[in-house]
Amino acid sequence: MIKTAKISPKQIALLHVAKRELSLDEGNYRAVLSLYGGAESAKDVTQAGFTRLMNYLVRIGFKAPAFAPQTRRKRDAGALIGPWQTAKIEELYVALGIDTADRQQKLCKRVIKKAWPQTRGEANKMIECLKAMAKRAAP
């Protein structure tokens, strides 16, 4: 008797995602599983059946998450500081009572070794530092 390789738990999860995305009811899902996957249950589908099943699901409109285009772009930590970051830093300074420019610069020099953050990464470091200080100061 030849043993065939079953699909992995991640592949089973992908089948369930496809079922949800395509709005397949239980009857239609089971019919597609048996027709293209060769099994009554997702856990009994073989690798060959999974390939046939995914080809069919893609044909009827499923876009697998691994192949879907990424809409979120990564921000460059070395890019210039954003206006929202400047506003957040100022807001945190006011909340902490660090009101003079001299005190603000001394804190920046202690945290990022510069008088004022120049990049997004430095600004994020300052924001996280100020948030931690605010959390410690809160009763």
Q: Residue 88's pLDDT is what?
A: 96
Q: Which residues pair with 80 in a beta bridge?
A: 119
Question: Tokens for 40?
Answer: 């009554």
Percent of the chain clearing pLDDT 70 (strictly above): 91
pLDDT over 50 (residue 1): no
Question: Tokens for 116?
Answer: 């004022």
pTM beyond 0.85: no
pLDDT over 50 (residue 18): yes
Inter-residue contact 33 to 53 (CB < 8 Å)? yes
Inter-residue contact 115 to 74 (CB < 8 Å)? no
Q: Count other Cβ atoms within 10 Å, centred on residue 57.
A: 22
pLDDT over 90 (residue 52): yes
Q: How do residues 53-106 score in pLDDT, each as one tens digit?
A: 999 999 998 887 765 555 666 777 788 998 999 999 999 999 999 999 999 999
pLDDT over 90 (residue 130): yes
Inter-residue contact 81 to 120 (CB < 8 Å)? yes
